Amino acid sequence: MNFIISILFSGIAVSVIVLIPWICIGAIDGAFMRSLFGIIIPYAAIATFLIGIVVRVISWSRSPVPFRIPTTAGQEWSFPWIKSNPIDNPKGMGGVILRMIFEVLLFRSLFRNTRLEYLNDENGPKINYEWEKWLWLAALAFHYSFLVIFLRHFRFFLDPIPGFVHVLESLDGFMQLGIIPFNGFGMPGVYITDGLLLAAVTYLFVRRIYIHQVRYISLPADYFPLFIILGLGLTGVLMRYAIRVDITAVKELSISLFQFSPKVPDGIGVIFFIHLFLLCVLIAYFPFSKLMHMAGIFLSPTRNMANNNRFKRHVNPWNYPVKFHTYAAYEDEFREKMIEAGIPVDKGVEATSESGKKE
Amino acid sequence: MADTPKPEKTARINHIPPLMKGWMDTPVEIKPGIYCYGAKPKNTKAVGMPYPKEWNPTDDDWQLPENWKDIIDEGLRDRRDKYRSMKLFMDICVRCGACADKCHFFIGSGDPKNMPVLRAELFRSVYRKKFTLGGKIFGKFAGARDLDEDVLKEWWYYLYQCTECRRCSIFCPYGIDTAEVTILGRELTNLVGLNIDWIAGPVANCNRTGNHLGIQPHAYIDMLDFFVDEIEDITGLRMEPDINRKGAEILFVTPSGDVFADPGTFTAMGYLMLFHYLKSLGLDITWSTYASEGGNFGFFTSHEMAKRLNAKMYSEAERLGVKWILGGECGHMWRVINQYMDTFNGPPDFMEEPVSPITGTKFKNANATKLVHIVEFTADLMKHNKLKLDKSRNDHLKVTFHDSCNTARAMGFLEEPRYVLNNVCNNFYEMPPNTIREQTFCCGSGSGLNAGENMEVRMRGGLPRANAVKYVHEKFGVNMLSCICAIDRAVLPNSMDYWVPGVDVCGLHELVANALVFEGEKKRTLDLRAEYLPGMEDEEDV
Amino acid sequence: MSIKQQLIEKKDLIIKTWRSALLGSYPEATQRFLIREKDQFANPVGQSIHKNISGIYHALIEDEDFDTVSSNLEEIIKIRAVQDFIPSDALLFIFQLKSIIRSSLDFKSIGNSSVNELNSLDVRIDELALKAFDIYSMCRQKLYEIRVNEVQNQVGSLLKRANLTVEIPD
C-alpha cells in the first residue's frame, strides 16, 4: 500500500459515489429514483449518523477512565506565591472547561505546534512562520467555513429564514461589496466561506502528499473524506454560481423532509442529487471513521481532566487488590543482616531462627 | 570523462524507492545497539510474570506460547474495556502529523516508525482488523492488518524505543498520548513473555530488596555511612540519619539510584545534609530500607506491577506510623505518585495532611496522596528564609536546568525547581524555550531504556536534549546540567560525554547542600564532589 | 577556467548536491523534515548537516588544513555513528564528493593541466576520508567507553564504597 494506491482507491470510490446519482437520476430517472435519492437515502443516512454517533459515544463512555492522566502544559497549582497556569494545567472543573473551550474552538494544542522565529537578516529583524502555522490555520479555516456553510443552509430548512442566517450571509458576503460593487451579470453574491473551504480542503490534501512524513502515514481513510468534502463543496459552488437549480423546489423538499411528510417536487436538477448523495455518504460514513474526533475530543482523558490527583482522590472502578512483597517477608529474609547493621526490626532474633526452622 | 559515475551509483545505500512503499510493507529489522536484551527467566519468574524463558531478540524463533495470538487478542479486548484512553486513542487519530517531528527518537534517528503517530499506527492497524467493521472488510485499504509474528516483533522493537515522555501528546489536537499506547502495548508484550531484561531485572530486585540493584539492607546502610564520612570530611560535621525508625513524623523515599551511582550520590549527600541542618529546627524524618526505591520500573511493565511495587510506600508509612511522606528528586516516581498512587493503593487515611514542621506551611496540594516533593519542601524553606545559603559556593558552576518529562508533563512542576536554583546559584541559564518546561526533550533513556546494549538508540534519543545543552554550553559556558530525576542523573552524563564533553550533571540538592551554611562547620573548601570551591584552590585540604 | 576556479564558482551547486546526497541516505519519509525544519533545536540532524557541509567544502577548496574543520566533520559523523548505518554507509558521503564534483565540472573549458589538478583534488578528498575514518572510530570507541564506564559506575564504585575491595595504597 503506497500513497498512490491510497489516493487512487479513495478517488475511485468518490467518483463512483458521484456517478451513482448522476446515472440514476440523470439517465434512468423516474419517481422511484427521485424518492430513493431524495427521501429514502437521506433518511437512512441521517439515522445512521445519529444512531452511529450515539452508539459510538456510549461505547466510549462504557470504558471507564481508571486513572487521571491529564497532560500538563503549564505550572501546577502549588504555593500561593507561585503563579500557576489554570488553563494548561487545570486544578478544577473551571480550568478544564476553559482548556476544553480553547481546545475545541481554537485548536490550542495545534497552535502550540506553531513556532514564531525571529530572524535577523540584512533587512533587519524578520518574523518567520514555520509551516506548522499553516496546518493550524487551514484546520481552523476548514472547520469554521464548514460550520458557517452548514448554518447558512438553514435558509433551506426553515421557513421563515431565521435572523442569524441573514446576519451570517451578509457577513460572509461582505467581500462582494469590495470586489464587485454592483450586482449584475446574474452572478449571486460571493461567499468567502465557499472559497475558504475549498482552499482549505485543497491545502489539507496537498500537504498530505507534499509533506513526506504525512504522506507516509496517510491512509485511504484520510483521503476519502477530503475528496467527499471537496466534491460536496464543488457541487455546491457549481449549483450556486453555474448550474442553477430550482431553489424553491429544493427548499420544498428539505422542509418536507424535516416535517416528516416527504415529497420530491419536480424540476430539481441532477447536480442537486449528486450534492445530496455526497452529503448522505459523508454523514453515514461519519460514525465509522476518524471524523468521530469531533465527539472524541470531548472525552479525551489527557485533556478533559484536572491535574488534582494529589489533593483529590480518583477512584478506579475496577481496582483490585494485588499481592506485594510485604515488610514482614522482607524482614524475614534479611533480619539477621539488619540486626547486625543496627537497623531496627519488628521481630527479634528468635523470629529468625523460627523462620529458619520452618524452611 | 564519459565514465564519470553518477553519485547515485556510489550510493550503495539500499534505495528501494520508499516513495512507492508503504510502512506496512517495510518489515522490521532488529538491529544491535537499538534493541535491549530479552528478560532473563529468573527475573520474570521471581515476580510471577507469564512465560519466563531464555530468549534472544535476534533469534528467528521468539519461543512464543502456542496460543499467543489468543492471549494478545484477549489482552486487547480486556484493555479496551478497561481503558477509555485506549479505545479513544485507537479511534480518533486523524493522522494530521502534528506529532510526527516532536519525538526525540525520530529527530535523532530519522526512522519514520519513530514518529509517534506511526508508533501508534503499528498498534492501531491490528486493532482495526480485530474490532472495526471497516478494518474487517477493507483490510489494508482501511489501514488494518493481521497480527503475525513479524508484527509482534515490530511492536516490541518500537515499543521499547519510546520513553513514554509525552512530548508528542502536548502537540496533539486531541490529546492522544503515545505514552498511554506504549504502556498498554508493553503490557501486551509482557503477556506473552516478551520484556527486556533491563526492566525485568530491576523489577525483580525492587520487589525483593527494595532497590533496583538488589543491594541488601546492611549494604544500604554502608552506603549511607560512606556518605556520612564524606560529608564529615567536607564540613567537619557528622550526619546522623535515622533508618526504619518507628514514630518518626516523616518518611523519606527517594530513588535508589541516588544512593548507589554517581552523580546521584551527591544528591543523596545533599538530602542528608539538608535533613541534618533542619534537625535542630524540628525535622523528624526517617529513611527506610524496605521502601528504598521511589522509582518504579513496574510502571514500565504493567499497571499491576507498578501497583505492586508502589504499594510498599504506603505500607511502610503505615508500619512506621509517620504522618506524611517526603519524596526525593525523581521523574517517573513522581508521575506514579501524582497520577496513580492514590488510585492504586490509597486512600492513606492513617496519615495526616502534610505540614512543614519548620515553616508550618500546609501542603494543601498534597492533601490526598500525603506525599510532598522535596523540591517544593525546600522551596518553601527558602521562601521563609529558613536556610542560610551562600550562593557563591556554586560560582564555579554555570548551571542550566533540564525539566524531566514526567514532572513537566505529568505534573507541571516547573517553577519550584527554578526557584530553588535561583536561590543557590548565581549563574543560571535557561536552554531555548522549545526545549524546556512542557516542551522539554527527554534524556533519551527513560522508561527503562537505560540499558548498556542499546547505547546507540540512547545517544540518538539524547541528541535533541544534548543539542540544546551544547547551545548554552557554547553561548554561556554552561558546565553543569541540573535535573530532578534519577534516570537523568544516571544517563545524561553519558549523553554529555558523547555530545557535549565538558558538561557535568547534578541533582538540585547537591547544589543546595553546597550552598548550605551550617553552624559550627569547618571552613568549606570543597564542594560535595571533593573539588575546590571557587577561590579555595590554594587552601590546604584538611 | 581551471578546476579550482570552477569549484569556487559552482560551490553553491556542489554544496547543495552534496548535501542532498547526504540527506538521501535517510529514509525518504524523513528527508523533507531534515531539509525544511529550520529550527536548530527541533532538527539537530538536518541543521548540523546544513551547517557543517559547507564548512568542510570551503576547507577543501581553500586548501586549508583539515584540522580546522575537524569539528565540522565530527558533528556530522558523531550523529551518523549512532544512527542506522553500517560504517561504510556512514562515511560514504565523503567519497560521493568525488563523483559530485566530477559531474558538475565543465571539462571542455579545462586545459591540459586538468588531470593533475583532478588527481590532487582526489588526494585531498582521500585525506578528508582518512580524517573522517579517524573520527568515526573515535566515536565508536567513545560509545564503548561509555558502556564500560556505565557498568563500572554502577558496580565498581559500589563495591569500593561498601568496603568490599581493598585498594593498593599509593
Between chains, do A211 and C39 touch, taking CB under 8 Å as contact?
Answer: no
Q: Tell me, what's the pLDDT at B16?
A: 41
| Residue C125 placed within a domain | yes
Chains adjacent to A (≥3 CB pairs closer than 8 angstroms): B, C
When CB atoms are compared, the residue of A75, A107, A311 closest to B414 is: A75
Is the pLDDT assigned to residue A186 strictly greater than 70?
no
Q: 3-class SS at A326?
A: coil
Instruction: For A68, name the nearest residue in chain B, comparing CA atoms only.
Output: B339
Assigned C-alpha cell, A20:
451513482
| Residue C149 placed within a domain | no
DSSP H or E run through A294? helix A293-299
Mutate to test the interface with A, among B19, B187, B365 (most CBs of A within 10 A): B365
Between chains, do A334 and B380 touch, taking CB under 8 Å as contact?
Answer: no
When CB atoms are compared, the residue of A131, A215, A216 closest to C36 is: A131
Between B167 and C161, the higher pLDDT residue? B167
- Single-letter code of the amino acid located at B531: E
Q: Tell me, what's the pLDDT at B24?
A: 87
Report the side by side order of strands in the sheet with B504-507: B399-402, B480-483, B504-507
Q: What is the DSSP string of A182-249?
A: S--TTPPPPPHHHHHHHHHHHHHHHHHHHSHHHHHH--HHHHHHHHHHHHHHHHHHHHHHTS---HHH
When CB atoms are compared, the residue of C31, C38, C39 closest to A212 is: C31
Between chains, do C32 and A211 touch, taking CB under 8 Å as contact?
Answer: yes
Omega before B263 cis (within 30°)?
Answer: yes
Which DSSP category does A290 fall into?
G
Q: Tell me, what's the pLDDT at B18?
A: 58
Mutate to test the interface with A, among C23, C34, C36 (most CBs of A within 10 A): C36
| Crossing angle for the helix pair B116-131 and B178-191, to the nearest 10 degrees | 60
Mutate to test the interface with C, among A127, A135, A213, A337 (most CBs of C within 10 A): A213
Which DSSP category does A28 fall into?
I
Quote the minimal CA–CA distance from C32 to chain A in Å: 6
Domain residue ranges of chain A, discontinuous segments joined by +: 3-299, 327-358
Q: Is C41 on the interface with A (CB under 8 A)?
A: no
When CB atoms are compared, the residue of A115, A213, A216 closest to C39 is: A115
Which DSSP category does A67 fall into?
S
For chain B, positions 85-144, list CB contacts with chain C under 8 A: 100-101, 106-112
- Single-letter code of the amino acid located at A81: W
When CB atoms are compared, the residue of B83, B97, B338 closest to A63 is: B83
DSSP H or E run through B529? none
Instruction: For C30, name the nearest residue in chain A, comparing CA atoms only.
Output: A213
- Write out chain C residues lying below 8 Å of B455, CB-based: 82, 143, 146-147
Q: Tell me, what's the pLDDT at B39?
A: 92
Q: 3-class SS at B482?
A: strand
How many whole angstroms separate alpha carbon B155 and alpha carbon B194? 11
Domain residue ranges of chain B, discontinuous segments joined by +: 22-195, 202-515
When CB atoms are compared, the residue of C44, C102, C149 closest to B1 is: C102
Mutate to test the interface with C, among A212, A215, A216 (most CBs of C within 10 A): A212
Least confident of A169-178, B153-162, C159-168: C159-168
Between chains, do C45 and B108 touch, taking CB under 8 Å as contact?
Answer: yes
How many whole angstroms separate alpha carbon A89 and alpha carbon A95? 8
Q: Are C47 and C40 in contact (CB under 8 A)?
A: yes
Q: What is the DSSP string of B385-444?
A: T-S-B-GGGGTT--EEEE--HHHHHTT---HHHHHHHHHH-S-B-PPPGGGSGGGPPP-S
* pLDDT values of chain B reduced to their tens digit, one per residue, 542 residues: 444 445 444 444 443 445 667 888 888 889 889 999 999 999 999 999 999 999 999 999 999 999 999 999 999 999 999 999 999 999 999 999 889 888 999 988 888 899 999 999 999 999 999 999 889 998 888 889 999 999 999 999 999 999 999 999 999 999 999 999 999 999 999 999 999 999 999 999 999 988 888 888 888 888 899 899 999 999 999 999 999 999 999 999 999 888 888 899 999 999 999 999 999 999 999 999 999 888 899 999 999 999 999 999 999 999 999 999 999 999 999 999 999 999 999 899 999 999 999 999 999 999 999 999 999 999 999 999 999 999 999 999 999 999 999 999 999 999 999 999 999 999 999 999 889 999 999 999 999 999 889 999 999 999 999 999 999 999 999 999 999 999 999 999 999 999 999 999 999 999 999 999 999 999 999 999 989 988 887 766 54
Q: In the 3-class helix/strand/coil scheme, how is B94-141 assigned residue by residue?
A: CCCCCCHHHCHHHHHHCCHHHCHHHHHHHHHHHHHHHHCHHHHHHHHH
When CB atoms are compared, the residue of B112, B460, B497 closest to C83 is: B460
Q: Tell me, what's the pLDDT at C113?
A: 67
Q: What are the CB-based long-range contacts (under 8 Å, 24+) for A123-131?
A: A128/C38, A130/C37, A130/C38, A130/C39, A131/A211, A131/C36
Under the banding of pLDDT at 50, 70 and 90, the label for residue C157 is low
- Write out chain B residues lying below 8 Å of A1, CB-based: 22, 24-25, 140-141
- Write out chain A residues lying below 8 Å of C33, CB-based: 212-213
- Write out chain B residues lying below 8 Å of A79, CB-based: 361, 376, 379-380, 383
Whose CA is closest to B498, among B461, B445, B459, B540? B459
How many whole angstroms separate alpha carbon A75 and alpha carbon A350? 53
Quote the minimal CA–CA distance from C62 to chain B in Å: 23
- CB atoms < 10 A from the CB of B313, how many? 27
Query: Buried b vs exposed e over B223-232: b needs ≥16 C-beta within 10 Å?
Result: bbbbbbebbe
Assigned C-alpha cell, B363:
501542603
- Write out chain B residues lying below 8 Å of A85, CB-based: 412
Q: Tell me, what's the pLDDT at B12?
A: 44
Between chains, do B218 and A338 touch, taking CB under 8 Å as contact?
Answer: yes
Q: Is C45 on the interface with A (CB under 8 A)?
A: no
Residue with cell 467581500: A175
Between chains, do B18 and C30 touch, taking CB under 8 Å as contact?
Answer: no
| Residue C160 placed within a domain | no
Q: Are A86 and B194 in contact (CB under 8 A)?
A: no
Q: In the 3-class helix/strand/coil scheme, how is C17-38 assigned residue by residue?
A: HHHHHHHCCCCHHHHHHHHHCC
- Write out chain A residues lying below 8 Å of B364, CB-based: 311
Under the banding of pLDDT at 50, 70 and 90, the label for residue C149 is confident
Between chains, do A216 and C29 touch, taking CB under 8 Å as contact?
Answer: yes
Q: Tell me, what's the pLDDT at A300?
A: 93
| Residue C167 placed within a domain | no
Which DSSP category does A27 fall into?
I
- Write out chain B residues lying below 8 Å of A327, CB-based: 290, 312, 315-316, 319
For chain B, positions 380-439, list CB contacts with chain C under 8 A: 432, 434-435
Mutate to test the interface with B, among C45, C49, C142, C147 (most CBs of B within 10 A): C45
Instruction: For B90, name the nearest residue in chain A, comparing CA atoms only.
Output: A290
Between chains, do C29 and A215 touch, taking CB under 8 Å as contact?
Answer: yes
- For the four alpha carbons of B11, B17, B19 and B24, in that order, the dihedral sign comes to negative
- Write out chain B residues lying below 8 Å of A90, CB-based: none
How many whole angstroms separate alpha carbon B165 and alpha carbon B402? 13
- Single-letter code of the amino acid located at A297: I
Between chains, do C30 and A212 touch, taking CB under 8 Å as contact?
Answer: yes
Quote the minimal CA–CA distance from B74 to chain C in Å: 34
Q: What is the pLDDT of residues C18-58, one digit of tens each?
A: 998 898 888 888 888 888 777 788 888 888 888 899 899 98
Expressed as residue numbers, the domain containing C17 is 3-139
For chain A, positions 182-211, list CB contacts with chain C under 8 A: 211
Q: Tell me, what's the pLDDT at C164?
A: 56
Instruction: For A132, name the nearest residue in chain C, comparing CA atoms only.
Output: C37
The span from the first CA to the last CA of chain C, in angstroms, equals 68
Q: What is the pLDDT of residues B324-348, one digit of tens each?
A: 999 999 999 999 999 999 999 989 9
Q: Tell me the β-bridge partners of B532.
A: B526
Beta pairing class for B504-507 and B480-483: parallel
Quote the minimal CA–CA distance from B207 to chain A in Å: 6
Fold of the domain built from segment(s) A3-299: Fumarate Reductase Cytochrome B subunit (1.20.950)
When CB atoms are compared, the residue of C25, C44, C146 closest to B463 is: C44
Q: Are B256 and B211 in contact (CB under 8 A)?
A: yes
How many whole angstroms separate alpha carbon A89 and alpha carbon B476? 32
Beta pairing class for B250-253 and B324-327: parallel
| Residue C101 placed within a domain | yes
Is the pLDDT assigned to residue A278 strictly greater than 50?
yes
| Residue C162 placed within a domain | no
pTM for the structure as a whole: 0.90
